[in-house]
Each structure stands twice: as C-alpha cells, then as structure tokens.
Amino acid sequence: MDYAEFTPEMKKTHTILAPDIFPIHMKLLQKVFHQYGFNMEVMRRAGKPVLDTGLKYIHNDMCYPAICTCGQLLDAVQSGDYDPRRVALIHFQTGGGCRASNYIKLLRKALKNMGMDYIPVISINFMGMEKHSGFNITVPMVYKAFISLLYGDLLMLLYNQVRPYEAVTGTCDAVLEKWVRDLTDGFVKNQGLIGKAVQRNMDAIAADFHNVERVEKKLIKAGIVGEIYVKYAPFGNNGLEAFLRSQDVEYMVPGVLGFFQYSLYSPVMDNRLYGDSPQKAMVSKIAMRAMKHMEGMLLKAVAPYPEFTAPSRFEEFLKLAEKVTDLGVKMGEGWCLPAEMAELIEKGYENIVCTQPFGCLPNHIVGKGVVRHVKEVYPQANICQVDYDPGASRVNQENRIKLMLAVARENMEAKAASSERETVTA
C-alpha cells in the first residue's frame, strides 16, 4: 500500500473530516457514521481563504468542485483546530468519466506537499477501488445512509416549498432543526430506520410542514439543476438559494435519491446497449427495487397534501429524459440533468438556473448542450446558465439570474393578464 492507511485503531483516535456537499443530508449522514464508530465531522468552512487553500495545493486546471471540497479539507488540517496526527480525510470517488475519480489522489499529493502525507485519505466508492483495514462499508451501513438521504430529500422538498410563504419568519427553520435533531437521536437508538417506523416519521414530517402557518402570495417558481456539487452546496454556488429567497422566489432542487437512481440505472443501459456485464445489471435492478420502495414512502407522505409538489416516480423520470436526450448519455450528470429540467418545467418550475462549474466538461455538454433542444420541446422554458469558478464574479452571476427573473416576472404578469381577460370574456 503506497498511501497512509486508516487502521482499525484509528476509529477510536481519529476525527474524519468530510466536505459539505448536501447541507441537510450531511447532517443526517454523519450520524450514520457515528453509529458505526466513525467520528465524522462535516466541514462548513467557506470563503476566499478556503478557495485560496484549494488553489494553492490543487492544480488550477482542476474542476471547481475539486478546488472547493479539497480546499475545505486542506484548510481544516492546517487551521490549528485539529491535531493533524489525529485526523483523516474522506471524499467520494465515482470511478467514472469524471475528475471526481481523482480527488483522492489529489488530496494525497497535496498532503505530501504540505508535509502531512501521514494523514489517511479515505475513499467512499462502490467500485472496490481502494480499501482500508479500518474502514469497511457494510450493507446495513449503506442501507442506513440511503434512509438518511431519503429523509433529507423529504425535508429539503418541503422546506423549500413552505419557507417562502411562512407567516412567522423562522418557523420552517425550527421545524427543520427539530426533525434533524429527532431523526439523528433516533439513529443512535436504531429507531426510524425500518419499514413502518420510517413511514411514520415521514408522515409526521409532512404534517408538520403542512401545519406551518402561511400567507398567500404569488411568487416566481424556479428550479435549480446542474453539477451535483454546485447544485446543492452553498459554498460552491455562492449562496444561490439564499439569493433566490432574497428575490422572492420559490425554488425547487431535485432530490439526491434521483441522482443515485440515475447512477444505478447506468449498468442496466450498459448491458442493453453494449452487452456489458449482466451480473452488474442484475445487482443494479435489485438495488433499484429497494430505491423504488423508498421513493414510494416519500410520495405516500406527501400525497395527502395537494399544496405540495411531489417528485416524479423514476419510471416517469425516464420518460421525461427520453423527451430531451438519449438514455445512453451517462457521463457526469448525463441524461439526469436534462431530465430534471423537463421534470421541473412540467411541474410548473419553468424558470431554471443551470449551475455549471469550471472544468466540468460532461456537465457543460449535458447542461449547456441540451438547452436549445429543451426549449424546442418546452417553449415556455426560461433557462439561465451560470458558470462557477474561483475567479468568477458573484455580481455577474447574480445579474445573470436577475435577468432571467425579470423575464419570469414578465411572463407571470402576462399570464395573469390573459387569465383576467378570459374571466371577463366568460
């Protein structure tokens, strides 16, 4: 082994530092790690010093998500807040046609340059790419991780739809924090993780958000799509969600589970199109059945409340994808990104911010590259593409979005005027 290993003894002595990728979901996910004896902390570090650290130790031709996430971890180990001899770093590794496959080696190279190559770097992957004697991903751990993502998707979905209309500022934040606290407390006690217990929690979450007192107002509805990091992470997208809230916009962000369903479907398509491993396709189909069951629980929780917009079932999602691209497109966000555009438009979120990080070629192809065709299929689509990189101007990014929102307001006013004329005529 040519890298520092995370040994079984380190579970008791080391803190595992993780980048903040999915803000709500990661709060739940870290508790799953705690339950299996791993002291994981999610880094919330942000700002220019973190970017500067990323640029200093990660080649600036690397993609923007690499600079952000690796910068968060490297900034932490040199901050003085942690004993470098008692920390490990952890990051996702895709194993596909994405630079995310190389994040682990980038981190090790950076640590070597910092004189800290004794710090273990752990890879989270499902490809068997790297192994550590002290870090094993078991089936129960994977199951609980996906349950935490399921809860995270529901919390994110309802929070985003209710917060813009709350009568008392801070009510939704209180509901969100209550459920993060209750769910994580339950994880420690092995509660709320199986069958009916999960459904009870999800039903109660939906009921709590339904019961938030709201005021009626007409807001622009916008969707956020793009590369998986800058789509979700406030550090990566310069606080995009907060900016949209400041512009009186109700926004929707597609769930994380949808991306995992897309990823699981890839071996099925590889088998169908290229005759790739039927065994991998079979394993994927089994995993997808489990995901379908989880998806059903979320939809069941939302169903009693018609004011909430629910996500599409995966079977419907595939049909939406085929309207705008081919299911064989699977590099980066692949067909998932244009399918998310189609889903948002059909659900009334026709104003879309497509987040594009510098250096992410697959994402630029399936993001920018499909916009013209998406608009041909959905003429009402109002799509704004925003580039994110260390040198990009936040003012320019927000001005592009403001132009999109100005068009959205004109369209909304035109629809309202047309509706009034039809009412008068009738």
Phi then psi for 371, rounded to 5 degrees?
-60, -45
Class of domain 10-137: alpha beta
Strand partners, 225: 354
Residue whose pair of structure tokens reads 């500067």 in the numeric block: 52
More confident of the two residues 275 and 2: 275
* 219-255+311-425 is classed CATH 1.10.1660: no
**pLDDT 10s digits, 113-153:** 999 999 999 988 766 667 788 888 888 888 899 999 999 99
Output the six-digit token pair for 174: 């209180």
Most confident of the following: 154-158, 264-268, 334-338: 154-158
d(CA 158, CA 211): 12
Is residue 343 within 8 Å of residue 312, measured between CB atoms? yes
Indicate the Cα dihedral angle 22, 17, 57, 354, nearest 10°.
Answer: 0
78-111 exposure pattern, b = at least 16 Cβ within 10 A, e = fewer: eeeebebeebbbbbbbbeeebbbbebbebbbebb
Most confident of the following: 316-325, 351-360, 385-394: 316-325
**pLDDT 10s digits, 56-74:** 998 877 888 889 999 999 9
Which residues make Cβ contacts (< 8 Å) with residue 156, sequence separation at least 6?
A: 24, 25, 253, 255
Listed in order, the ranges of the chain carrying CATH 3.40.50 are 10-137, 219-255+311-425
d(CA 41, CA 27): 9
pLDDT-derived band of residue 333, with 50, 70 and 90 as boundaries? confident
Look at residue 98 and tell me whether its pLDDT is greater than 90: no
d(CA 335, CA 324): 8
d(CA 90, CA 73): 9
Q: Residue 422: in which H helix or E strand, if any?
A: helix 394-425
